[in-house]
Amino acid sequence: MRDGFYRQTARVEGRHWWFLHRRRIVTSLLDHQGIPEPARAHARALDVGCGTGGNLEMIERLGYFSVGVDRSPLALELARGSHRDAQFVSTDAQRLGDCFAPASFDLVTVFNVLYHEWIVDETGVLEQIGRVLRPGGWLLVTEPAFDSLARGHDRVDSGARRYTRRRLAGMVESAGFAVRRKTYFNAISFAPACVVAMMDRLRGRGDPGAHAEETVELRVPPSPLNGMLLGLCGIERFWLRHVGDLPFGVGVLVLAQAEGESRSGGA
């Protein structure tokens, strides 16, 4: 990711409806699954590729002590500036086993990391996570969905690939996890993303996204529109909590459990 993109993310991730919606989905699904158990003291969570740290407060509100890992010095600098209670480690997602003891975390989160161009072995990263996650611990992964939705935003974010629900869940399972939920999300953005991706392909790859430091998609809409979009997304969160999985969306989410004792509360 480019420095300008990190700085833009740090400015908007506490206000932009897309970030807020994803955090609320994650919180709802983890809560519905019975995670974490209130009786478990000193629970630890690892956010792999934490970026500028926007998800750490959510993780801490769930009851965990949070540890953020990222390979970017700028991202960690920005994260430390706003999350002083968390611990940060500068390392690559592909070397987690070199930095942390086995079974040292109860929850590991991966928010849009596997799709980046510097990840050469996604399953290898998931296997590294399996080493540092305690038996029965939880893994939550979100990634961009559908190769057909790739566009300029991906190039600014150094994205190299996207995933279907089946592909991402299969990778998680092949790394030794038991998948508990697999769903698409952010369906409200699906049609607009299709249009933008089609226009991107029609004008070719020589658009400003090839060299841009920021992306239009992360600009915070005017407050009334930002609030309206977040409110509309409440329907999706209700569906995921009370009805079931979604058949499409611009993102895909997999919730899985490491081999060992079960902490599942039922979903």
Least confident of 48-52, 182-186, 200-204, 248-252: 200-204
Which CATH number, 1.10.10.10, 3.40.50.280, 3.40.50.720, 3.40.50.150, labels domain 3-257?
3.40.50.150
Torsional class of 53: left (φ above 0), alpha (ψ -120 to 50), beta (otherwise) = left
pLDDT attached to residue 1: 62
Q: How many Å apart are CA 117 and CA 138, to the nearest integer?
A: 25
The full set of domain ranges for the chain reads 3-257
Mean pLDDT of 96-121: 95
Looking at per-residue confidence, does 10 or 40 come out higher? Answer: 10
pLDDT bin (cut points 50, 70, 90) of residue 52 is very high
State the first-to-last Cα distance of the chain, in angstroms, to the nearest integer.
Answer: 35
pLDDT attached to residue 263: 44
Least confident of 130-139, 144-153, 233-242, 253-262: 253-262
Looking at per-residue confidence, does 6 or 260 come out higher? Answer: 6
Q: What is the pLDDT of residues 155-185, one digit of tens each?
A: 888 899 999 999 999 999 999 999 999 999 9
Q: What is the pLDDT of residues 109-132, one digit of tens each?
A: 999 999 999 999 999 999 999 999
The reply to whether the predicted model has a pTM over 0.85 is yes
Amino acid at 2: R
pLDDT attached to residue 41: 59
* Six-digit token string for 166: 């089946």
